[in-house]
Structure 1
Amino acid sequence: MAIKAVVFDFGGVLIDWSPEYLYRELIPDESERRWFLTHVCSMDWVIRQDGGQPIVEATDELIAQFPDHAPLIRAFYERWHQMVAGVLDDGIALMEKLEAAEVPLFGLTNWSAETFPYAWEHYPVLRRFRDIVVSGRVKLVKPDPAIFAEMRRRIELQLPGVEPAELVFIDDNAKNAEAATALGWHGVHHTNAAQTEAKLRELGLPV
């Protein structure tokens, strides 16, 4: 089957986001910083906000668990914008090749509904997608099959009858790419733009 649409994850593919950018300043010692981002403001904690938990509530809960780290915990979302370094030019270039070939593009991102508006305002490239499923808004997170079902439902509104085998999903998290593949999509684990572009070419896309 010919590919009818490509779905992009954002962080790590198109947007350069990392807690390291902020916490290198706040916790200069690498081992201490690694411990903090592994055990306190961990990705398991972040994913709860990506799934819809209010930031204030999540912050208060974590401070109750780690009161000695209260200022560092509060900084995570108070200074969240300092974790975003900008766009990833090679990822944007790949997206623009698909766009120039008139391939329908969609977005599927694990992102808090409270912080996504900042990205929407500051990175106009996001407005070029036909539709975007933001996990915090639908209260589902990748790799849950339900969020892929919601994405496919949205795509079908614009491309009636589209089949999973006609969809490509690009994500820098291997588990998310594998989840898409398990659902019949073409999941692409993004490690760098050149490899992703080669994979898209194999699938017959004009890049």
Structure 2
Amino acid sequence: MVKPLENRKIDTVVFDIGNVLVDFDPRYMYRKVFADEAEMERFIETVTTPAWHLEQDRGRTMAVATRLLVSEHPERRDQIEAYYKRWDEMFNGPIPGSVDILHELEGRGYTLYALTNWSAELFGRARETFPFLGVFREIVVSGELGLIKPDLEIYGVLVDRTGLDPGTSAFIDDSPANVETANRLGFTGIAFTDPPALRDDLAELGLLDRTGAAG
């Protein structure tokens, strides 16, 4: 639960994208590759790890990332190469309640930005697949900068590029570390868990009604 504002009026909302607005999980694809769930989990935990994936969000190319991992696990070549060959199968579409909230905020006139850890090579496909991303005035993409959340520098790029005031901005992210950095910089941070909880947090801040569509 976020704290109610004290003499501050939120006029800007910054969204993370992956697993806040878009449902992403490599398991959606890898369940088609592995017959055994436990083997799949071991593969994700020890081969195509979140730390490995994050370096592509920082700017490493898919080709280099794949080559490096295959050199370490040559027996897993086919499964490793599937990661980016079948990238689109890792998505389960938009998160409906979250996208509804995004459009409600748009309808109420709030300024909307996004700050996302995402591969520069792949983000163009996201724009094509998820047209609702067009509501954002600016999207700062980590892979285009060589920076990732929760590094302070990428938040600085967001502020410099948009001119937003963190003191009048809410920041929504599913990573507690990313939210913590935002709070340190003066944003009103909201740790995303699911759309109903997000609506409650935004209602607590006076940005939305608890019951749904804006009036």
- TMscore range, shorter length: over 0.9
1:61-76 matches, cutoff 5 A: 61-76=68-83
| Alpha-carbon distance between aligned partners in 2 of 1:7 and 1:127, rounded to the nearest angstrom | 14
Corresponding position: 1:136 with 2:143:
yes
Structure 1 residue runs without a partner (length 5+): 157-161
The residue type paired with residue 198 of structure 2 is T
Corresponding position: 1:44 with 2:44:
no
Percent identity between the two aligned chains: 39
2:122 to 115, 121, 129: 115
1:163 shift after superposition: 2.7
| Alpha-carbon distance between aligned partners in 2 of 1:142 and 1:122, rounded to the nearest angstrom | 23
- RMSD (Å), alpha carbons: 1.0
Kept in 1: contact 2:10–2:170 (CA 8 A)? yes
Match of 1:106 in 2: 113
Dislocated runs of 4+, deviation >3 Å: none
The residue type paired with residue 101 of structure 1 is R
User: Aligned to 2:200, what secondary structure does the other structure show?
Assistant: helix
Instruction: Please report the TM-score for the alignment, with normalisation by the length of structure 1.
Output: 0.94
Match of 2:89 in 1: 82
| Alpha-carbon distance between aligned partners in 2 of 1:175 and 1:33, rounded to the nearest angstrom | 27
Q: How many residues align?
A: 202
Corresponding position: 1:29 with 2:45:
no
Instruction: Please report the TM-score for the alignment, with normalisation by the length of structure 2.
Output: 0.91
Kept in 1: contact 2:199–2:208 (CA 8 A)? no
Corresponding position: 1:175 with 2:180:
no
The residue type paired with residue 196 of structure 2 is A
The residue type paired with residue 115 of structure 1 is L
Match of 1:11 in 2: 18
| Alpha-carbon distance between aligned partners in 2 of 1:178 and 1:195, rounded to the nearest angstrom | 18
1:16 shift after superposition: 1.1
User: Aligned to 1:35, what secondary structure does the other structure show?
Assistant: helix
The residue type paired with residue 125 of structure 1 is F
**Cα deviation 1:59-83 (Å, max 9, x = unaligned):** 1001111111011000001110111
Kept in 1: contact 2:114–2:140 (CA 8 A)? yes
User: Aligned to 2:120, what secondary structure does the other structure show?
Assistant: coil
1:175 shift after superposition: 1.3
Match of 2:187 in 1: 185
1:164 shift after superposition: 1.6
Match of 1:205 in 2: 207
The residue type paired with residue 130 of structure 1 is R
The residue type paired with residue 88 of structure 1 is I
User: Aligned to 2:190, what secondary structure does the other structure show?
Assistant: strand
Match of 2:212 in 1: none
User: Aligned to 1:170, what secondary structure does the other structure show?
Assistant: strand
